[in-house]
């Protein structure tokens, strides 16, 4: 984004830009620009970030002035004429090691390689030997026009494989067009919650609100030629594999009318959060005010001067509360289980013009800033791992997790310490990270306001006028928001997928004697040929950006299609023994992780009612990446 005409870029402006900069990212960018080896020798320090759940590597205090002086001199000398030179892999690996002063294994390096996004289009699948003749009529059906469907579309567009994206809504964006409750926004900063093939998008906020993310996806879909392949108002009701032709038959409800199409492969990018979880309490039908699930907000809700209840204190309930409290006359916040809620630097902040200018002007600063943010989160993984030796010595989970618990407990005390009753009610028993870490969007501060009440009594029922709690008290409300989340056990639901022998995926995944939804590499299931699921069972990465994985899954699926087309096959289906072996190894690894923390069981949406953690992957990022980097034809049978 060009600096607007009224902004004068003088020395004072540049100094302000440098004061706000990520100094370690700046150091690397300046090194690349100048080759000044002394920059690599600057001492580094580790700083806790995001409430202690992350560790930012930055330049130690004694080297900061020197670094800024050198950067100032460089920027004053008109870097506009500077020619960027993409580093070789060997050079990049050396720079990554210098970035955090760490030695990288080959596996670490491969996972990190594209986090700095130096390639024009990272994580792109390629034909083996130029584009072959794609069979006449070949079609890939993609279900869903959110991040996943768009990532897949971009891959297929680049490869020249024909595809259509079916979207039941009237517009693209998925999560970010649907969830428009007050102050809906990302809690993962957009310098990692982004596609890495789109460089330096001019985000207005560090943590964009839903409409900005939606606009971003609109921009991507338009720029990369994907939007024209989208068919809106089209619900995929059924997808059935036909063994004779080796293709899928999809039954669609398109603008209300039934339509039948065929596809050679199906990519279900239908999202994990497609089905709102209803608030299951007696009396819901009696309530005469507005009862709204947060995923069904229209943005037109009249809250001014109203009595409002928010039921639920997960990510959404906490995110919206302060914005609701600014408008409502009174807010009742209903909490069943306290949650760990962490501060997050720059949350709710606009990017200042100085920072925007630095991102636009300093060669490769955006690349290193994105890398810095992404790698800052890696340490989170340590907090998710039980340490038996630490536990045997009396610790709760591990040193990292127990320290995080202390930091977050102190944060609660710092925020609401003046109200010991609140400290007690707000302090969780379960370990941090056992459930999704929530971001403090002014939640604690708002709870201290006179017109906001935290209610922890069990809800007995809704009445015509409001909420009746177990202590016999009825509170009156005009509007009740149910921030009760999503039914994440219902992967792909209600689309009826039928694979080989007419087998239904829903039957497989809801079989009481089974284990619930499972897939190979989170992507594919035996007996369902050339069906790939994005954000499928056990797909969610343990740290960092989900969008990186959208790119990685899309590349893997594209590689599978390439292998099928180049081999002259009709479809690929994962071998049952490969699937079983993978899931057994995966589940064994999972049992060592925090999601099986006893204090959170039964209240942890990651763990399904078969007792299996089905949302996150058990693998560390570099292991997850290694298994997905290259499609292995040996894992599949081709037909
Ligand atoms: C409120 C909220 C906040 C979030 N914040 C974050 C965050 O900060 N960081 C993060 O990493 N993740 C976050 N997430 C998770 C988020 O869902 C993902 O980051 C990402 O947007 C998922 O993209 P997707 O394409 O997989 O799914 P979606 O965005 O859900 O898109 C799926 C699309 O498929 C369509 N669809 C589904 N079934 C059919 C069908 N049968 N026929 C036709 N169309 C169909 C849906 O209408 C939808 O448009 C958040 C989720 C929610 C709900």
Compute, in angstroms, the gap from residue 505 CA to the centroid of ligand 1.
Answer: 20
Size of the chain in residues: 639
Look up tokens 């935290």; give the residue.
454
Compute, in angstroms, the gap from residue 489 CA to the centroid of ligand 1.
Answer: 15
Compute, in angstroms, the gap from residue 172 CA to the centroid of ligand 1.
Answer: 11
Q: Which residues of the chain have pLDDT under 70?
A: 1-6, 79-83, 602
Compute, in angstroms, the gap from residue 173 CA to the centroid of ligand 1.
Answer: 8
Nearest to 508 by CA among 500, 619, 616: 500
Nearest residue (CA) to ligand 1, atom 3: 186
- Ligand 1 contact via 495 beta carbon (within 6 Å): yes
- Ligand 1 contact via 314 beta carbon (within 6 Å): no
Q: Using CB atoms within 10 A of its CB, is residue 9 exposed (0-12), middle (13-18) or buried (19+)?
A: middle
Nearest residue (CA) to ligand 1, atom 11: 546
CA 48, 51, 52, 56 torsion-angle sign: negative
Give the pLDDT score at 49: 87
Residue 180 in contact with residue 320, Cβ under 8 Å?
no
Compute, in angstroms, the gap from residue 63 CA to the centroid of ligand 1.
Answer: 43
Q: What are phi and psi of 58, to 5 degrees?
A: -135, 175
**3-state DSSP assignment of residue 342:** strand
Give the pLDDT score at 141: 98
* Nearest atom, ligand 1, residue 150 CA: 25
* Nearest atom, ligand 1, residue 178 CA: 49
- Ligand 1 contact via 121 beta carbon (within 6 Å): no
Nearest residue (CA) to ligand 1, atom 51: 175
Give the pLDDT score at 81: 60
- Ligand 1 contact via 239 beta carbon (within 6 Å): no
**What's the number of CA atoms in the CB half-sphere (13 Å) around residue 190?**
25
The CA–CA distances, whole Å, from 265 to 134, 143, 249 equal 13, 11, 10
Nearest residue (CA) to ligand 1, atom 52: 175
Look up tokens 């869903």; give the residue.
144
Give the pLDDT score at 2: 45
Residue 411 in contact with residue 446, Cβ under 8 Å?
no
Give the pLDDT score at 401: 95
Compute, in angstroms, the gap from residue 301 CA to the centroid of ligand 1.
Answer: 23
Cα 186 from chain centroid? Answer: 8
From 53, 141, 146, the mutation candidate for ligand 1 (largest count of ligand atoms within 8 A of CB) is 146
Compute, in angstroms, the gap from residue 7 CA to the centroid of ligand 1.
Answer: 38
- Ligand 1 contact via 522 beta carbon (within 6 Å): no
pLDDT digits (tens, 9 = 90+) for 533-564: 999 999 999 999 999 999 999 999 999 999 99
* Nearest atom, ligand 1, residue 207 CA: 8
DSSP state of 593: B
Nearest to 56 by CA among 81, 23, 15, 16: 23
Nearest residue (CA) to ligand 1, atom 45: 144
Compute, in angstroms, the gap from residue 602 CA to the centroid of ligand 1.
Answer: 24
């Amino acid at each position: 984004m060009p600096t607007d005409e009224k902004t004068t870029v003088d020395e004072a402006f540049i100094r302000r830009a440098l004061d706000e900069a990520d100094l370690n990212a700046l150091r690397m960018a300046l090194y690349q620009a100048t080759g000044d080896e002394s920059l690599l020798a600057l001492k580094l320090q580790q700083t806790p970030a995001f409430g202690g759940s992350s560790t930012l590597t930055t330049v130690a205090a004694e080297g900061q002035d020197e670094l800024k002086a050198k950067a100032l001199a460089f920027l004053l000398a008109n870097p506009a004429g500077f020619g960027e030179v993409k580093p070789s892999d060997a050079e990049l690996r050396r720079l990554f090691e210098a970035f955090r002063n760490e030695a990288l294994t080959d596996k670490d390096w491969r996972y990190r390689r594209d986090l700095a996004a130096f390639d024009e289009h990272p994580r792109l699948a390629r034909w083996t030997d130029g584009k072959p003749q794609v069979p006449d009529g070949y079609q890939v059906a993609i279900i869903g026009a959110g991040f996943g469907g768009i990532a897949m579309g971009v891959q297929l567009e680049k490869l020249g494989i024909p595809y259509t994206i079916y979207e039941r809504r009237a517009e693209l964006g998925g999560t970010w067009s649907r969830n428009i409750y007050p102050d809906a926004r990302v809690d993962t900063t957009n310098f990692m919650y982004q596609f890495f093939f789109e460089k330096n998008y001019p985000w207005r906020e560090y943590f964009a609100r839903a409409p900005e993310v939606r606009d971003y996806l609109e921009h991507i879909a338009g720029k990369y030629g994907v939007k024209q392949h989208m068919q809106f108002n089209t619900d995929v009701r059924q997808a059935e594999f036909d063994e004779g032709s080796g293709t899928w038959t999809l039954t669609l409800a398109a603008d209300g009318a039934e339509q039948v199409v065929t596809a050679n492969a199906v990519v279900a990018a239908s999202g994990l959060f497609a089905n709102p979880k209803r608030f299951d309490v007696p009396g819901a039908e009696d309530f005469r005010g507005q009862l709204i699930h947060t995923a069904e907000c229209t943005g037109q809700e009249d809250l001014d001067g109203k009595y409002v209840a928010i039921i639920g204190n997960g990510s959404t309930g906490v995110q919206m509360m302060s914005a609701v409290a600014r408008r409502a006359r009174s807010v009742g916040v209903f909490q069943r289980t306290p949650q760990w809620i962490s501060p997050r630097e720059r949350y709710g902040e606009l990017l200042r013009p100085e920072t925007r200018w630095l991102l636009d002007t300093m060669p490769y600063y955006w690349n290193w800033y994105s890398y810095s943010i992404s790698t800052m989160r890696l340490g989170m993984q340590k907090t998710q791992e039980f340490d038996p030796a630490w536990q045997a010595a009396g610790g709760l989970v591990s040193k990292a997790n127990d320290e995080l618990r202390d930091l977050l407990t102190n944060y609660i005390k710092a925020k609401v310490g003046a109200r010991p009753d609140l400290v007690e009610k707000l302090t969780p028993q379960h370990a941090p990270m056992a459930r999704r870490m929530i971001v403090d969007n002014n939640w604690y501060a708002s709870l201290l306001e006179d017109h906001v009440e935290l209610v922890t009594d069990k809800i007995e029922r809704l009445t015509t006028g409001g909420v009746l709690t177990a202590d016999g008290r009825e509170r009156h409300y005009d509007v009740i928001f149910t921030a009760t989340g999503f039914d994440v056990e219902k992967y792909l639901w209600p689309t009826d997928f039928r694979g080989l022998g007419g087998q239904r995926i829903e039957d497989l995944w809801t079989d009481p004697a089974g284990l619930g939804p499972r897939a190979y590499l989170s992507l594919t299931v035996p007996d369902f040929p050339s069906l790939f699921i994005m954000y499928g069972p056990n797909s969610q990465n343990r740290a960092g950006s989900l969008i990186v994985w959208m790119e990685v899954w899309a590349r893997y699926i594209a590689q599978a299609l390439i292998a099928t087309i180049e081999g002259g096959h009709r479809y690929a289906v994962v071998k049952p023994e490969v699937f079983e072996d993978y899931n057994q190894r995966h589940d064994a690894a999972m049992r060592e992780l925090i999601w099986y923390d006893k204090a959170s069981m039964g209240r942890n949406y990651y763990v399904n009612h078969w007792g299996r953690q089905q949302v996150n992957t058990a693998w560390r990022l570099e292991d997850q990446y290694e298994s997905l980097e290259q499609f292995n034809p040996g894992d599949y049978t081709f037909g």
